[in-house]
Structure 1
Amino acid sequence: MSYLAPGTPENVALAQHVNGRLRAEARIANARAFLFRALGFGTFVALAGLGLGGAFYGYAAMNDVRGASDKLAAALTTALNDVTLKTKGEVTLTDNTLKLDGAPPARGRPDVSALTGNQGKSEAPASAAVRTSFTVFKTVPFLDGSIVTGWNFKGDEAKPEKQYCYVTRPQTFGDGATSNQTTVAIDGEVLPQPARSEVNFSVIARSCVWFDPSKL
């Protein structure tokens, strides 16, 4: 119910005021929508710019790395081409044999006949005596290994100067195989039994073959 009669100045003024307010609110709504659209477009442009910038930066970095590697290769090539190696020495050919003065003698298989033929005739002092020593081994099978007794002789002695007995058993480490050697007795005397040992020294020593002139 309206207290104002239609067409009165007051009603006209009220209608104009209402229309003006509606237009103002419509403009505000349009401005707000434009602001949101502008923000969205700006965000899109910014993200697109960042993507393009990252792509160009990666491309430039790749080209820079390739350029640096090419420069390094070129520098190394130039350096190697400019290097001059200098050596000192004299090479002579004698009897179709290449020799280098000042070089150590070649290591090869010695001439056994020359060594044995010159025994006692070397350049050593006359007081130096040539002694010959050798070892005789006696082997007894033991499980997957063996018990070995060694007799150490010096010269023409009829009795060994030293004797030792050890047990050896094969062992496998990875793809390779080796042997484990444990000395159990020396000169007939059994060594002390270690605290952590898989071998019983007293039992093994019974199979040692000690030197006995009466059994020779």
Structure 2
Amino acid sequence: MSYLADGSPENIALAQHVNGRLRAESRIIAARAFLFRALGAGAFAALAGIGIGAAAYGYSYVTQYSSAAERIATALQTALADVTLKTKGEVTLTDNTLKLEGLPKQSAAPVPTKAQLGDDAVPASKAPVNTTFTVFKQVPYLDGQIVSGWNFRAAEDKPFQQYCYFSRRSNEAKGQVEIKIDLAMDGRVLPQPQKSDVNLSILAQNCVWHDGKSL
């Protein structure tokens, strides 16, 4: 209920005052909205700048180490290119055979000569002679040695008989005495004597067989 008459100066002034206050409040609200939008845009721009800066820093960090690795590799390549490796020895090509001189010599397996085989030796009866030869392998054991013998026929690469025994020499009052104990034959241990303190199986583990097998 209004106590003022319509169109009175007081009523007009009140309406103008109310309109002015509403416009002022709307401007305040618009200003606050603009402030919030500005703050949001500024924060977005700041975060975007930070992200771009971090990405640029990371790229420069990786590029720096990559370029450093390339420089190190180049330096090593240059250094190795200037290095000269020297070694002793002489390579001589003689009669289509390549020989290395100045290297340690390897001991060759003994080969019987024609004179040692005695192919021309015959008995007085003129009977035919079959020539065989034996290769011995010695393995030191305690105060003696384990001897393995391989019997070969001429022109054959596989022995037709193999045997193994323990041998030891001792000085007695009457002179030097050789003790010999048979251990195995053709890869098999001989029967163990009943009255013997020597274990043939243990000693036979040091026998050397042509086929490389062990007992």
TMscore range, shorter length: 0.3 to 0.5
TM-score, normalised with respect to structure 1: 0.47
TM-score after normalising by structure 2: 0.47
